[in-house]
Amino acid sequence: MAETDSSSSSDGEPSQSLASIAENLQRSAIQSARTVQHSSSTHFRAFQNFLPEAVSQYRTYEDAFVNKVKDGLMIAKENPAVSAGVAISAALLAMRAPRRFLFRHTLGRFQSEEARYARIEKNVKDLNLSVDLLKKENAKLLQRTTLAEKEMKYGHTELVSAGTQFQQLAKSAYKVETRAADLLDKLRYIPSREALALRAEASQLCLIVASMASNLKRQRSSLNKRIMKINELGVPV
């Protein structure tokens, strides 16, 4: 019987400890939630109290800035010479060369010799890179110019040769055209008794010679136009 009571008491102790742990956890959770709620409400009330003061300070600064601008405009209006001097000084400072001169003779004097040397060395390296790039571009341009000159000389030679050939063809066409015209005149003035026997052949020959003469005339005109175009390009033919 004693053993039974001892076993039941030993089983009851763990259950009581678990219940106490659960209660402690619940209490701590509730307390933490209340603390968070209280702190958040406190911060919110502090923010609400600070907001009107911040707005008031902003308006104060804004009014002060506007008053400063108005005062500056009034001073500029009353002293145009000073305003012109300030404007010229600002324009000079906006330019690169005066700004570098001013920096070199004011803040630049406070730089160490090592910093100056490093800056100069960097500028020299950048300048060398720029010079190398210009050399490469110059070499490419010279190569392209040489090729263009060769092509131009070759084209000039070809134009001169073509112009000479066109002239020779035009002269030959003129000679053949003249011979065809003479032959056509001879065929037209054949004696009448011979014309009766050669009428069919003469008429056919007249048509052929007339067609040849017209074709030669067109070719000679086309050749002369080509020669004129070559002369317009500055190539004497």
pLDDT at 159: 75
Residue 75 domain-assigned? yes
Domain that holds residue 48: 17-112
Residue 90 domain-assigned? yes
pLDDT per position as a tens digit, 105-122:
565 555 566 666 677 778
Residue 138 domain-assigned? no
pLDDT at 181: 72
Residue 117 domain-assigned? no
Q: Which residues of the chain have pLDDT under 50?
A: 1-14
pLDDT at 8: 44
Q: Which of 112, 132, 165 is the last residue of a domain?
A: 112
Q: Which of 56, 91, 112 is the last residue of a domain?
A: 112
Q: Could you give the number of structural domains in the chain?
A: 2
Residue 21 domain-assigned? yes
Taken as a whole, the chain contains a residue count of 237
pLDDT at 9: 44
Residue 141 domain-assigned? no
pLDDT at 5: 44
Residue 81 domain-assigned? yes
CA-CA distance, 27 to 17, in Å (whole number)?
Answer: 15
Residue 27 domain-assigned? yes
The pTM (predicted TM-score) of the whole model is 0.34
